[in-house]
Chains A and B, each alone.
Chain A
């Protein structure tokens, strides 16, 4: 009997865990999501669609996606580099470095925006120089991208570090000792291993980039149809007593988060195919 139990939980444990986990998600995620859609559809589908057709809403959607895409490559490059250095090597001050990477989380988004105003604003450190050279950072798209970079800075690195730590470095070392170059090792060994973690990191930082309000709000200038992202637009619509419009726009953001469902399914499917291929080609060999 114990032999049966040992690699899986007992049936009742599974049921309890499922009930607790799903119940928690239902009350904390499911209901709020439902409430958003209920509000958005309060006056029926046509009103909902009209609210989304508004040109200012549409330009906000475009800007939100542009910023999220602009931020992504920077975050991936930094995340992988930082995780590589931290997880695979030992050096002094590692905990300090990790903590510094965490720091943007601890900075209130309101302050995060303010920090860039202090640097680039008209009264800021670089303000006069930027003004003299007609370079706009604050109250324009570049400033909003920088603020979003700041907010999403830790995600991918923090996602990858524990994963790469848990994986250890044996596989890479084996690859290198077999004569693989650095890039070969990275593309063929490291990247396949961290694919999942990287994907989660990308999804998280992406969601956060699209949903961020506080920091972006401070540096955006709120020019309608120009520097309003969806979250900023939602707030303005709500304040203008346009609840339908506000919740409709918010529901779009919720849907964008669900797009990850598609992304994940695709990656998952590709990976399954890949592992199946590998399994047929290679006999499983383990270094332990």
Chain B
């Protein structure tokens, strides 16, 4: 009996703890590798907000797979702002009526305060001489990539390769699909996620090339050592955006719109932009981009909107069940 009573009080305690929220708390639901960016950014904003308004603000972070995070928000996770790495995830929230329909216009630069690109990570000295997407289909080359249907990394890689193939002489959707078919034949496994792909490539020494975000190359260096690999920029690659949005439904209920707006606006400030650059994300601010030029070599990029007519459309054509990715596998 005592056991029962104790457990009930434990549950009650947890309930109370869950319901008690300080009046100015913001919850930022974000993708899983975003911690470094916001770990440094949040204190910057707290300081700025305190100076400006005298109000101290508590900032909470939630990290997880991008689409899983937005599904949680749609199912009731009370995040004031979402900071994601895929536009179609915010699109989903807009469809559900949680985020403004024209969310990408609510902030500058397509609501993405910084960008990154997809790059090749090759072994020391680049023994297979991999320079561009075309080299990836050579026989004997093994490409390590996370699952294109289930991970942002994988999708960006797939779309980058597709865009490159379309832009080749005489290239069209059909030739691009053939190219990807050949490319996927050189993929020995689909890693569970971006981080898992890195472990497979660096630690388990599988494959000749890993395709990932430019910003992640730095994290790889931190864990595995800089001299262990080389970064190769292909002739054309995707400019990946990191869209942000206010969750209207939540801020209206909690009365935190003002703070949420300021929190996201501040990402475009000098301090916010510099913090992004320090975390190896390409800032929108031209001056800062110049200042950090050594770390961000110029590269020819495309955006998903230009080549695929929007993130949602790209997703539907290529990664939904029966899309181009599935077609490649079922035909085989």
Chain A residues within 8 Å of B, Cβ to Cβ = 66, 69-70, 72-74, 76-77, 117, 121-124, 127, 131, 134-136, 138-142, 145, 217-218, 221-226, 236, 238-241, 243
Chain B, 60-90, contact with A by CB distance < 8 Å: what is the 0/1 string?
1111100011001011111000000000000
Chain B proximity of A152: nearest CB distance (Å): 14
Q: How far is the CA of A238 from the CA of B70 in the complex (A)?
A: 21
Q: How far is the CA of A139 from the CA of B74 in the complex (A)?
A: 12
Would you call A238 and B195 a contact (CB within 8 A)?
A: yes
Would you call A74 and B35 a contact (CB within 8 A)?
A: no
Q: Find chain B residues with CB under 8 A from A135 CB.
A: 15
Q: Does B32 contact A (CB under 8 A)?
A: yes
Would you call B18 and A122 a contact (CB within 8 A)?
A: no
| The one of B11, B36, B76 that contacts A145, using a Cβ cutoff of 8 Å | B11
Q: Does B19 contact A (CB under 8 A)?
A: yes
- When C-beta atoms are compared, the residue in chain A nearest to B4 turns out to be A73
- When C-beta atoms are compared, the residue in chain A nearest to B195 turns out to be A239
| The one of B6, B61, B72, B194 that contacts A139, using a Cβ cutoff of 8 Å | B72
Q: How far is the CA of A223 from the CA of B21 in the complex (A)?
A: 13
Given contacts A70-B7, A70-B14, 6 further A-B contacts (CB under 8 A): A73-B4, A136-B19, A138-B75, A138-B76, A139-B75, A145-B14
Q: How far is the CA of A276 from the CA of B62 in the complex (A)?
A: 55
Q: Find chain A residues with CB under 8 A from B14 CB.
A: 66, 70, 140-142, 145
Q: How far is the CA of A69 from the CA of B11 in the complex (A)?
A: 10
Q: How far is the CA of A218 from the CA of B15 in the complex (A)?
A: 18
Would you call A142 and B60 a contact (CB within 8 A)?
A: no
* Known A141-B18, A241-B195; contact A124-B75, beta-carbon cutoff 8 A: yes
* Known A66-B14, A69-B10, A141-B14; contact A224-B63, beta-carbon cutoff 8 A: yes
Chain A proximity of B247: nearest CB distance (Å): 12
Chain B, 26-38, contact with A by CB distance < 8 Å: what is the 0/1 string?
0100001101100
Q: Find chain B residues with CB under 8 A from A131 CB.
A: 76
Q: How far is the CA of A218 from the CA of B69 in the complex (A)?
A: 9
Would you call A69 and B7 a contact (CB within 8 A)?
A: yes
| The one of B11, B75, B195, B198 that contacts A121, using a Cβ cutoff of 8 Å | B75
Chain A proximity of B261: nearest CB distance (Å): 21
Chain B residues within 8 Å of A, Cβ to Cβ = 3-4, 6-7, 10-11, 14-15, 17-19, 27, 32-33, 35-36, 60-64, 68-69, 72, 74-78, 193-195, 198, 219-220, 222-223
Would you call B75 and A122 a contact (CB within 8 A)?
A: yes
Query: How many residue pairs bridge A and B at CB < 8 Å?
Result: 101
- When C-beta atoms are compared, the residue in chain A nearest to B64 turns out to be A222
Q: Find chain B residues with CB under 8 A from A239 CB.
A: 32-33, 63, 193-195
Q: Find chain B residues with CB under 8 A from A222 CB.
A: 62-64, 69, 72
- Jot down 10 A-B pairs with beta carbons below 8 A, ordered by A: A77-B4, A124-B75, A134-B19, A138-B76, A140-B19, A141-B18, A218-B68, A225-B60, A239-B33, A240-B33
Would you call B7 and A127 a contact (CB within 8 A)?
A: no
* Known A224-B61, A241-B219; contact A122-B11, beta-carbon cutoff 8 A: no
Would you call A122 and B60 a contact (CB within 8 A)?
A: no
Q: How far is the CA of A84 from the CA of B63 in the complex (A)?
A: 44
Q: Find chain A residues with CB under 8 A from B193 CB.
A: 239
Would you call B76 and A141 a contact (CB within 8 A)?
A: no
Would you call B33 and A122 a contact (CB within 8 A)?
A: no
- When C-beta atoms are compared, the residue in chain A nearest to B216 turns out to be A241
Q: How far is the CA of A225 from the CA of B35 in the complex (A)?
A: 13
* Known A141-B17, A142-B14, A145-B14; contact A73-B7, beta-carbon cutoff 8 A: yes
Would you call A142 and B15 a contact (CB within 8 A)?
A: yes
Q: Find chain A residues with CB under 8 A from B194 CB.
A: 239
Chain B proximity of A33: nearest CB distance (Å): 19
Q: Find chain A residues with CB under 8 A from B220 CB.
A: 241
Would you call A223 and B33 a contact (CB within 8 A)?
A: no
Looking at A136, A239, A240, which has the most chain B CB atoms within 10 Å of its CB? A239
Q: Find chain B residues with CB under 8 A from A117 CB.
A: 75
Would you call A121 and B61 a contact (CB within 8 A)?
A: no
Would you call B223 and A243 a contact (CB within 8 A)?
A: yes
Q: Find chain B residues with CB under 8 A from A74 CB.
A: 7
Q: How far is the CA of A238 from the CA of B195 in the complex (A)?
A: 7
| The one of A72, A127, A221, A225 that contacts B72, using a Cβ cutoff of 8 Å | A221
- When C-beta atoms are compared, the residue in chain A nearest to B69 turns out to be A222
Q: How far is the CA of A140 from the CA of B17 in the complex (A)?
A: 9
* Known A145-B11, A240-B35; contact A221-B195, beta-carbon cutoff 8 A: no
Q: How far is the CA of A236 from the CA of B223 in the complex (A)?
A: 15
| The one of A121, A134, A136, A236 that contacts B63, using a Cβ cutoff of 8 Å | A236
Q: How far is the CA of A215 from the CA of B259 in the complex (A)?
A: 33
Q: Find chain A residues with CB under 8 A from B223 CB.
A: 241, 243
Q: Find chain A residues with CB under 8 A from B27 CB.
A: 223
| The one of B19, B74, B77, B222 that contacts A241, using a Cβ cutoff of 8 Å | B222
